[in-house]
Chains A and B, each alone.
Chain A
């Protein structure tokens, strides 16, 4: 029985390794996860962290009238591009309306005169609010001009001997209680999604090829005339599928470990200490779902008459385990003992704990592995029942 199983398993692995299509899609799946994740992280980091510091170039009309204001803006990374094709407010408004310019700051002609007196000196910001990008930029310019105005006002009050607090009877402070790890929950969901997806898709080709494919090519029937039990043959195929799933998981973890070390995760408050130990633990946590996946795919592929038909069904199977992950990351579900019975959700929650640097609860790990393996055994048993039927020959 064991010898048969190993012979079948070995042959299926060799055959798959020679199938270029299977290997290319396997590698593609491996690279896709970390690549998408890297792009996602960088986009989020850019949005959250560096938007305020990004250099912003605008046209400042009449900059020579307010050198100090221009210098203040420059210190805040808002630069005057210098040249302009218009010379007055109306020309500037026309240019912005036509979309030739994003933002124009017009220093009033009487700015210099007014600045020295008790008159308020005027600057005008010309913008097009219907443009998304402009709004946040205008906010920056507005904020900078306000800050300059406040600074000058404060200096003037101090010079007259009054307290600057006179101008600010109320102060509003904001206190954000969300933790950085909580904010990154969606990102973590994507990470475990890719790990689960890579695991299952790693065995996809073999599960189909060794069952529906073997029947389609008419090699199943002679195989079943050999003096070996059908269960041994079936388990050999499942073991080979399992092998590719684990290899796929292993390689994906290695790719993530490599790419996570190069991502600015700490800026998002995520632990970037996805070290070797964490990777090994993540493997141990996710691996128990692989037998379930292998058995389920083999069972469903065995119902299908052709490779293509099986492929269609199994694409849905690939989606099933990712549903709980999606909901969990959107609803920010916290790990709890009662959730550890649910395959894929439990793996997601445990891996999330790992990445956050939280200690794993042994009973959680045991429950998660136990339920996944038990369900896998049940599905494998169903598959053996199916293989005893004559209809399996199609």
Chain B
């Protein structure tokens, strides 16, 4: 469970978050949706514990992030916006490195690495250096790396960016599988079509505020005759943000 309450964050003169609150439950995929610059990345970076909010609280698995960041990170997997793989390490070594830093035992580490490589269909490139990987391969390896410690919570920053149709479909499949395992998945996107078939909960964010929340079905009922895309555009425009979808 991820709980966010009244987050504020300012970078210089730019007010990135202006009181963001939402919940992302276990066994659900929650989509953080908004145009570029709405504050999605800032929100995810606070949840990933790399930056601290100016005010407000964020909890992961009940742990308050500013106080308990080290413990919270143990149950947290992060797929960053750009994969951030080490080019001179192989796919396997990239995964092992994170596993070791998570403090996994050698036996556990080997077992889990092999299982992830197999599940994500990475066998063929497991021992090749990351330098020549395609965008899809990089995303897969980065996903395997973020799952190496079996985290209950998973944060994905625009995971479908740059992926082709097949890779996008595979990614959706794995995310559904992670949901079925009872994990809490939070992903960000700026394209409604990419997420409407995938997410259970929508959190629409614009100009540093949450403007609309709900399930895709619930929103469709609340705004009859409108597509989710139209609802999104209206929610964003109402906040004065630039419509980007």
Give A contacts to B, CB under 8 Å: 3-4, 7-8, 11, 14-15, 18-19, 217-229, 390, 393
- In the complex, the answer to whether A225 meets B88 with C-beta atoms within 8 Å is no
- In the complex, the answer to whether B84 meets A219 with C-beta atoms within 8 Å is yes
- In the complex, the answer to whether A225 meets B50 with C-beta atoms within 8 Å is yes
What 4 A-B pairs have minimum CB-CB distances, sorted nearest first? A219-B84, A227-B73, A18-B88, A218-B82
Give B contacts to A, CB under 8 Å: 45, 48-52, 70-71, 73-74, 76, 78, 80-82, 84-89, 93, 97-98, 100-103, 129, 142, 146
- In the complex, the answer to whether A225 meets B82 with C-beta atoms within 8 Å is no
Given known pairs A219-B84, A219-B85, A393-B50, the reply for A7 and B100 (CB within 8 Å) is yes
Given known pairs A390-B51, A393-B51, the reply for A218 and B101 (CB within 8 Å) is no
Q: What residues on A are CB-neighbors of B87 within 8 Å? A: 217
A sample of 18 more A-B contacts (CB under 8 A), given A221-B84, A227-B73, is A4-B101, A11-B89, A14-B88, A14-B93, A218-B81, A219-B86, A220-B84, A221-B45, A221-B48, A222-B142, A224-B49, A225-B48, A225-B78, A226-B73, A227-B71, A227-B74, A227-B101, A229-B70
| Interface pairs (12), CB distance under 8 Å | A3-B103, A15-B88, A18-B129, A219-B85, A223-B84, A223-B101, A226-B102, A227-B70, A228-B70, A390-B50, A390-B51, A393-B50
Nearest chain B CB to A151's CB is how many angstroms away? 75
Nearest chain B CB to A13's CB is how many angstroms away? 11
Q: What residues on B are CB-neighbors of A224 within 8 Å? A: 49-50
Q: What residues on B are CB-neighbors of A3 within 8 Å? A: 100, 103
Q: What residues on B are CB-neighbors of A229 within 8 Å? A: 70
Q: What residues on B are CB-neighbors of A8 within 8 Å? A: 101
Chain B residue with minimal CB distance to A11?
Answer: B97
Q: What residues on B are CB-neighbors of A227 within 8 Å? A: 70-71, 73-74, 101-103
Most chain B beta carbons < 10 A, residue from A8, A222, A223, A227: A222
Nearest chain B CB to A345's CB is how many angstroms away? 38
Nearest chain A CB to B185's CB is how many angstroms away? 16
A373–B88 Cα distance when bound, in Å, is 32
Given known pairs A15-B89, A225-B48, A393-B51, the reply for A7 and B84 (CB within 8 Å) is no
Most chain B beta carbons < 10 A, residue from A14, A219, A227: A227
Q: What residues on B are CB-neighbors of A217 within 8 Å? A: 84, 87
A393–B76 Cα distance when bound, in Å, is 19
Chain B residue with minimal CB distance to A393?
Answer: B50
| B80 in complex: contacting residue of A222, A226, A228, CB < 8 Å | A222
- In the complex, the answer to whether B73 meets A14 with C-beta atoms within 8 Å is no
